[in-house]
Amino acid sequence: MRMSKVVRTAADILFPFVLIFGFYIVVHGHLTPGGGFQGGAVIATAIVLLIAAYGYDAIARRITKDALRNTEALGLIAFIATALVALALGAGFFYNWLAGTGLLFGMPVGFGPNPGDLNTGGTIPLMNLAVGIEVLGALSLIVLYMLSGTQEAA
Amino acid sequence: MIVFAAHALVVAGLVIAALLVYRFRDLLSAAIAFGVFSFLLSLEFYILQAPDVAIAEAGIGAGLTTAIYTIAVRGTQRWEETEE
């Protein structure tokens, strides 16, 4: 079920912007409103936009259910692994072992009111990324499964 | 004053959209009305200074839930059966 050329062109133009906005929400989760769940939902909305414009068959050839299921599992594993590394380092579960170390996302937070530095937060941006990957896989998977169910019935 | 007027409009729209979801016998129209309800609800969250929840509501409620309901209506039947 393909939509008209107008809808497909509009979806083509909108898709990268929605995608970038979703990734912006995920990556800036520790600075601005939003986070992993919200950004993942926005990215899943972009995929649903493509499905609505191009139909299930054209999308299911490129984005398979297995790939989305692996995406979801990868996000969950990354989330738990980030928390487990803290245990391996001798601290508590979910301990923020990257904060203040000067490594990735490890810069100290500036004092007082400031616009915010992306390179802060320790493990929180990593966990936001993991949750974003997980949610984008899971929500797209739900829509694909709903569509494949109705496809067999019709 | 303008903020109060916008707030009142959004709440009134919320009530109207919720009543429409209840009244529609055409389930596709009800799904679209639910999308409008979710959109207004996300505006309401933004006015109440919860932009975090507003983004989640706009993505999940207005985007994905409407799509899922539309797919469900396509898979089953469009009109609600009247009870005798």
- Summarised one tens digit per residue, pLDDT across range B11-55 is 999 999 999 999 988 999 999 999 999 999 999 999 999 999 999
Chain-chain contact of A150 with B75 (C-beta, under 8 angstroms): yes
Whose tokens are 């169910």? That residue is: A149
Does the pLDDT value for residue A39 go beyond 50?
yes
Q: Roughly how many angstroms between the first and final C-alpha of chain B, as a whole number?
A: 49
B79 DSSP β-pair partners: B26
pTM > 0.90: yes or no:
no
Say if the ipTM goes beyond 0.85.
no
Tokens of B64: 């994905």
Question: Searching chain B, which residue's CA lies closest to the CA of residue A139?
Answer: B64
User: How far apart are the CA of A40 and the nearest CA of chain B, in angstroms?
Assistant: 9
Binned at pLDDT 50, 70 and 90, residue A154 comes out as very low
Domain residue extents for chain B: 2-75
Rg (CA), chain A: 19
pLDDT of A94 reads: 84
Whose tokens are 């609800």? That residue is: B41
pLDDT of A131 reads: 93
Does the pLDDT value for residue A103 go beyond 70?
yes
Does the pLDDT value for residue A153 go beyond 60?
no
Of A71, A60, A52, A12, the closest CA to residue B63 belongs to A52
Q: Looking at beta carbons, which residues of chain B come within 8 Å of A46?
A: none
Per-residue model confidence as pLDDT tens digits over A3-31: 789 999 999 999 999 999 999 999 998 88
Q: Which one of A14, A30, A42 would you mutate to disrupt binding with B, by most B Cβ within 10 Å of its Cβ?
A: A42
| A19 at interface of B, judged by CB pairs closer than 8 A | no
CA distance B76 to B58: 26
Rounded-to-10 torsion of CA A65, A47, B67, A39: 110
What average pLDDT does this structure show over A67-73? 92
What average pLDDT does this structure show over A136-149? 89
CA distance A79 to A88: 15
